[in-house]
Amino acid sequence: MVLMTVGFGMLAPPVGLNVYVVNSMARDVPIAESYKGVTPFLVSDTIRSLVLLFFPAISLWLVKFVG
């Protein structure tokens, strides 16, 4: 959960370090356009975090079958 939250923080504004790095490589693309491209990933990360927060047994489901 901590790693997912940190990953979310690396994409989300105002910090968005990963977006700034990618935007610095593509100098002709405005930062707003970069954040528009990241928005679907932010939405999916939010949904995934909320699902695992409210239903923590999902994270152990596969472990039951492997172990």
Prediction pTM value = 0.75
pLDDT 10s digits, 4-56: 888 888 888 888 888 999 999 999 999 999 999 999 999 999 999 999 899 98
Residue with tokens 């909320």: 50
**Residue pair 29/38 in contact by the 8 Å Cβ criterion:** no
**CA nearest neighbour of 39 among 11, 18, 17:** 11
Q: Where are the domains of the chain?
A: 2-66
pLDDT recorded at residue 65: 81
**Residue pair 45/11 in contact by the 8 Å Cβ criterion:** yes
Q: Is 80 exceeded by the pLDDT of residue 67?
A: no
